[in-house]
Structure 1
Amino acid sequence: MSAPHSPNTPTREETDPRTVIYGFVNDTEDDDDDMDYVPALGGSDDDGDGDDGDEGNMSYHDAAEIIIPRELAIEFAEGEEEDEDGEHEDEEEDELDEAESAISDWPIYISRSQILQLLSQDGIGRILATTYTTRPSRNRNPRAAHLDDDDDDEDSDPGNGYDPVVPRRRRNRGRAAFQTVPSEEGKELMNAGNFGSSPRSSDTIKRKQRLSYNLMRRELGLGSDGRQKNANRTLKHNMIPESIADTIIHYNARCYSGQFSDDGNFFFSCAQDFKVRMYDTSNPYSWKYYKSVLYPYGQWTITDASLSRDNRFLAYSSIRSIVCLAPTDPDDESEPTLLDFANGSHNPRGYHTYFGIWSIRFSGDGREIVAGTGDNSVYVYDIERRQSILRIPGHEDDVNAVCFGDSQSPHILYSGSDDTTLKVWDRRSMGDGREAGVFLGHTEGLTYVDSKGDGRYVLSNGKDQTAKLWDLRKMMSKEKADKVDIGAHTTRFEYRSTAYDESTYRPHPHDCSVVTFRGHRVLKTLIRCHFSPPGSTDSRYVYSGSYDGSVYIWNLDATLAGKIDVLKATRNSRPRDPNLLAETFDFHGRSGGAWMTCVRDASWHPNVPMVAATSWNGWGTSQGTCTVHTWNDGLEEDEAEPRVGRRVNAELRHDARLYRSSSRARRQFSEDDLGND
């Protein structure tokens, strides 16, 4: 208990450094005639009933203050995150540490209102779990979401039950915490030659050099050999495809992914009707329908597909442990071969375990397939042996994306997971099952991973509405990563049903990414990002689909180089089918009766300035499209054939009924009316 003080004696609030540091102030009026008696928590159990007598018999109104363990009071009041080495993230808090050590033997006091807050859900959660995160519904309120979050307002929230604490240096949050654009690190990469050539000024006069001017200089052979070679490469930089679509391929099911082959002669698209459609694109401006293959007994949709480097086989997956392997030869009508990834040396007794496959990739030599699965693992399947030869249970949540680090070697693997980590695996040193390194920086789960193919750079998309570029030379070691509590830096944002609130964003304290790209929306589905190809873009860009119906294209310094508006290009491009139930809602409350577009995947042609975007599209995104966009030097009209804006069905057959407006589409039409789709 503490002694009473006389009117001439300074109060505890005036002299006690704990009040200055922690802001613990008694919320009852000081009475000079009252004793500041403080009953102890957890007194003796005198009645023998198993309850602590003092705690059970007193009420919050019987005592002005309660002694609690000092460590808990400091943790609860300060709410400051510490890194895994036990040091505070803010350097200014060293002064507070010195003051704390000076009063380490003193009891810590806490007011009634703070006790009530301590016993609330947030307070109990902080005591019982180090990885505690609040409910998603509360995350919309930055003040209520985390007690250790810094408010943008100097005033305390009167509804949170706290007395104001002494201000400390505030860490940025929301948009204020976004990385600077343009990125200095990205500028260095753009000028280093790893991502294309940099334009060189031919004279001291700054002028806007159009393509025709550059072509004239090339034809005249002006400049040295080095300048001419550089000019030839930089000609491709401004050939970003236009928003207007040359061709709109309509599907009667949502389209999930579509990619060109490495040589550009082949394109495939995967739809929710469990069909993979193949097209001959040897003439990129005149596609030809090739063939379709089916996934038998699929679940929900085809999740991913991958083409072997020789274009002979196509592997495709669903939310099952089985991958289908089909020949691409149009004359080969055989059924696809079923590859069961649950069958392997990791399962010696042959027990079938259920898991879905979210991502697959062919190895460079075509002998193996790597898969990311719903059982938090990475699998490597040997096609010749017909079994999985490696299972890596290396994540704490679904593995949404996998790829090989080097197109020429199967040794290096990348895996991105809903646990927010991107991990690097070297199969040459997997004796103890440990990863070679870890990339931390995303604050929500990863949706896709793409390798540049040079064994150095990798790109990822995340539910925190960012795409990130990583350098293997800057990855974190496993020993250091194991000290980081990855659950403490994520809100586990539910991207399928909630719009992302940027005001709740806080940067990851251990972010080791090189460049962060923003502007697109990663919502509803696992949206994909890619490196642009060297042949048609000089490796100058990275790009991604987006929930808002666009393809975003960034320079390496994180500035926006261009945007392909697929929503604008496809809006009302087919009449509404009254047989389709499309009463969904988007995050803005608009009914599924409106035309909506979500670009899930996009592929840049390796040789020509062309992007093919595969989308959920149509009335309430109930159907799908694959749109072909080409560079047209800023012109919206084209006199060449085929004319821009051509609308075709999945087999590239022209149908005049696709041009009817929705107001004129009064009669019902069946799938056969649009061709055998």
Structure 2
Amino acid sequence: MSELEVPGKEANVLKGHEGAVLAARFNSDGNYCLSCGKDRTIRLWNPHRGIHIKTYKSHAREVRDVHVTPDNSKLCSCGGDRQIFYWDVSTGRVIRKFRGHDGEVNAVKFNEYSSVVVSAGYDQSLRAWDCRSHSTEPIQIIDSFSDSVMSVCLTKSEIIGGSVDGTVRTFDIRIGREISDDLGQPVNCISLSNDGNCILASCLDSTLRLLDRTSGELLQEYKGHTCKSYKLDCCLTNTDAHVTGGSEDGFIYFWDLVDASVVSSFRAHSSVVTSVSYHPKDSCMITASVDGTIRVWKT
């Protein structure tokens, strides 16, 4: 895949947040995106037309992460107020608030059935919450980490957490087994390859590391960007041909998955790029920044 095939042309700028945007995520079909940030709001957009659709307000502190169900009917969010909010997308109503973390919450994800939300917190734990019951207690707490849990990924049977303690830990929920891979550097974001075979981990030594999900073997390292003090997203493109991530200097990088060469890098924002999200089907991505904007990139 040549440089021309990765997004690099700015198609739209989404403005509306006051202050830093901490995360921006496409929905499952890529027609919409959600963003959240320092201004305590979550916003729903049509990124392809550059239109703001709705704002969700209920958090008392900054909103760190947001995730929407595959059918686009519900969303979950988390942040500095230590709570996880479960929302109805169309009405903007909060259906439930989950409380239990002893610190700020960094990341949230729905499972594939949208029945459970898993959250990652500064209190060194991952917690799972049942969206269908009215209980506010977590149905599972994983607290074997020794520092903040920054990021979480889910497969059909596993919860995977990335932590400042330098580990990526995989918990098989069916058999109760835990596997820990020590990367030796604080992990601030993890994401799964589209085929589910690899875990991409962003570390605070300005290196992205690709791990084999089954064996934990380090397959490749990607460098060139700066990531030392911020939580920066990373992900694979929808074909798994390239790795992409933001940089603290406002740049976006694309690396070749196999040989780790930089195939494209460009200045996308005037400040730290906090979030990247790749379209599920098209050659398109959104980026979010401390500069308060979300930008839409196409080829």
- Distance across 2 between alignment mates of 1:237 and 1:247: 20
* 1:327 counterpart = 2:88: yes
* 1:516 counterpart = 2:221: yes
2:271 to 590, 597, 610: 597
Match of 1:338 in 2: 96
2:182 to 440, 445, 454: 440
* 1:552 counterpart = 2:220: no
Give the Å deviation of 1:280: 2.8
The amino acid of 1:420's aligned partner reads: G
The amino acid of 1:605's aligned partner reads: H
Question: 1:616-662 CA deviation, whole Å, 9 max, x = no partner?
Answer: 12xxxxxx11112221xxxxxxxxxxxxxxxxxxxxxxxxxxxxxxx
1:261 to 27, 34, 51: 27
- Distance across 2 between alignment mates of 1:615 and 1:455: 28
2:51 to 280, 288, 292: 288
Give the Å deviation of 1:428: 1.1
Match of 1:526 in 2: 231
Give the share of equivalent positions with the same residue, in percent.
21
Larger-gyration structure (1/2):
1
Question: 1:551-605 CA deviation, whole Å, 9 max, x = no partner?
Answer: 11111121111113214xxxxxxxxxxxxxxxxxxxxxxxxxxxx4111111122
2:66 to 274, 293, 305: 305
- Distance across 2 between alignment mates of 1:423 and 1:607: 29
* 1:412 counterpart = 2:158: yes
- Distance across 2 between alignment mates of 1:523 and 1:553: 19
Give the Å deviation of 1:524: 3.3
Give the Å deviation of 1:294: 1.0
Match of 1:315 in 2: 76
- Maintained 8 Å contact 1:341/1:381: no
- Distance across 2 between alignment mates of 1:520 and 1:378: 28
Paired residues for 1:67-146 under 5 Å = none
- Distance across 2 between alignment mates of 1:324 and 1:545: 27
- Distance across 1 between alignment mates of 2:276 and 2:268: 11
* 1:379 counterpart = 2:121: no
- Distance across 2 between alignment mates of 1:564 and 1:365: 37
Match of 1:192 in 2: none
Runs of at least 5 residues in structure 2 that lack an aligned partner in the other structure: none
- Distance across 2 between alignment mates of 1:379 and 1:454: 26
Give the Å deviation of 1:608: 2.5
- Maintained 8 Å contact 1:601/1:614: yes
Give the Å deviation of 1:375: 1.5
| TM-score normalised by length of structure 2 | 0.92
Match of 2:241 in 1: 540
Give the Å deviation of 1:337: 2.7
Give the Å deviation of 1:426: 0.2
Match of 2:112 in 1: 364
Give the Å deviation of 1:336: 1.2
- Maintained 8 Å contact 2:44/2:53: yes
Give the Å deviation of 1:237: 7.4
RMSD across aligned positions (CA): 1.8
Match of 1:562 in 2: 264
Runs of at least 5 residues in structure 1 that lack an aligned partner in the other structure: 1-233, 343-352, 476-511, 568-595, 618-623, 632-677
Match of 2:12 in 1: 247
| TM-score normalised by length of structure 1 | 0.42
Match of 2:297 in 1: 629
1:610 to 265, 284, 289: 284
The structure richer in helix per residue is 1
- Distance across 1 between alignment mates of 2:192 and 2:36: 21
**After the TM superposition, which of the residue ranges 447-456 and 541-550 deviates more from structure 2?**
447-456
Aligned residues: 295
2:146 to 396, 405, 410: 396
- Distance across 2 between alignment mates of 1:397 and 1:467: 20
Give the Å deviation of 1:355: 2.2
